[in-house]
Amino acid sequence: MKKITNQYLGNRAKLISIKKQAEGINLYTFNLPGFSFIPGQFVMLSLPGFGEAPFAPCSDPAKSNQFQLSIRRVGIVTTALEKLQKYDFVDIRGPFGNGFPLKKLSKKDLILVAGGMGIAPLASLIEFLLRNRRSFNQIYLLYGAKTTSQLLFRNHYTKWQKKINIELCVEEKDANWEGKTGFVTGLCHRDQIKVNPQNTAVVMCGPVLMYQNNAEALAKLDIKPEQILVSMEAKMKCGVGKCQHCTLGKKYTCLDGPVFQYSEIANDF
């Protein structure tokens, strides 16, 4: 099948598998010859008759021709996705956006902060970091979810922990949870984050409301807003800067982002 290069037209991607990650959240694996992406970029997925929506690939970017999307059921498109069968097709446009500046992150201490579904785009970044571990210094993943059942990619933690430091927390613990309780902001403490503040980069992804609180907590580690990157979610309709649905101040999330330097957009949301 010839790949379509027109950014307004989608390429047909074959659904390989659907796996439940949590209640209302599934991990979809697709095959699309010629597809590749940079961690942090997004695709526009469409189902004829139901609509189109943006999602960030969460799989290892080194695996060409195949990618995964972690998707929560929240609307018409995502509800229709759950009804698909193995080997059904969807249309994929993209990838779009800038992705994470991988070269600029090299040789730095890294703090990855995720809240809820924000772990999805960071999962692809983590896979890249593991594959290129010698190019980075200390790496911390701080991840929080509402409940233990909503901690995603749990079958990846054992592999990840071999090369990076992982700190988890939940807002509502259950009888089987022995870890930390509270918001992910509470994980940003000097006693557990050992980095060189002058050579540290932070990548945050999650609800917008958590960004300011985490930036304030990171300031206590002497980390400045200029050192923080955030991945922004927006109700993107076109993905190519034409519809203006995703404007953020004077910027377009789809063209100028979705990854921004926090100091550039802190006053725009």
For residue range 112-125, what is the model confidence (pLDDT) as tens digits? 999 999 999 999 99
Cα separation, 192 vs 213, whole angstroms: 18
Residue 101: per-residue pLDDT: 97
CA distances from 108 to 6, 129, 195, 214, 225 (A): 37, 12, 9, 19, 16
Instruction: For the domain covering 102-231, report its CATH number.
Output: 3.40.50.80
DSSP 80-122: HHTT--TT-EEEEEEEES----HHHHTTSEEEEEEEGGGHHHH
Residue 159: per-residue pLDDT: 96
Residue 148: per-residue pLDDT: 94
* Average pLDDT, rounded, for the chain: 92
Residue 4, pLDDT above cutoff 80: no
Residue 8: per-residue pLDDT: 72
Query: Domain limits of the chain?
Result: 11-96, 102-231
Residues in the chain: 269
* pLDDT, tens only, 9-68: 889 999 999 999 999 999 999 999 999 999 999 999 999 999 999 999 999 999 989 999
Residue 235, pLDDT above cutoff 80: no
161 pLDDT band (50/70/90 cuts)?
very high
Closest CA to 259 of 235, 233, 240, 238: 233
261 pLDDT band (50/70/90 cuts)?
very high
Neighbours of 121 (CB within 10 A): 27
Q: Which is it for strands 247-248 and 165-172: parallel, antiparallel or unpaired?
A: unpaired
Residue 158, pLDDT above cutoff 80: yes
252 pLDDT band (50/70/90 cuts)?
confident
Instruction: For the domain covering 11-96, report its CATH number.
Output: 2.40.30.10
Residue 133, pLDDT above cutoff 60: yes
Residue 58: per-residue pLDDT: 97
Handedness of CA 203, 209, 210, 211 (dihedral sign): positive
Residue 269, pLDDT above cutoff 80: no
Non-local (6+) Cβ contacts of 88 within 8 A are 14, 15
135 pLDDT band (50/70/90 cuts)?
very high
Residue 26: per-residue pLDDT: 97
* pLDDT, tens only, 66-81: 999 999 999 999 999 9
Closest CA to 257 of 128, 103, 101, 53: 101
* pLDDT, tens only, 208-218: 889 999 999 99
Structural tokens at position 173: 């613990």
249 pLDDT band (50/70/90 cuts)?
confident
Closest CA to 102 of 56, 40, 57, 161: 40
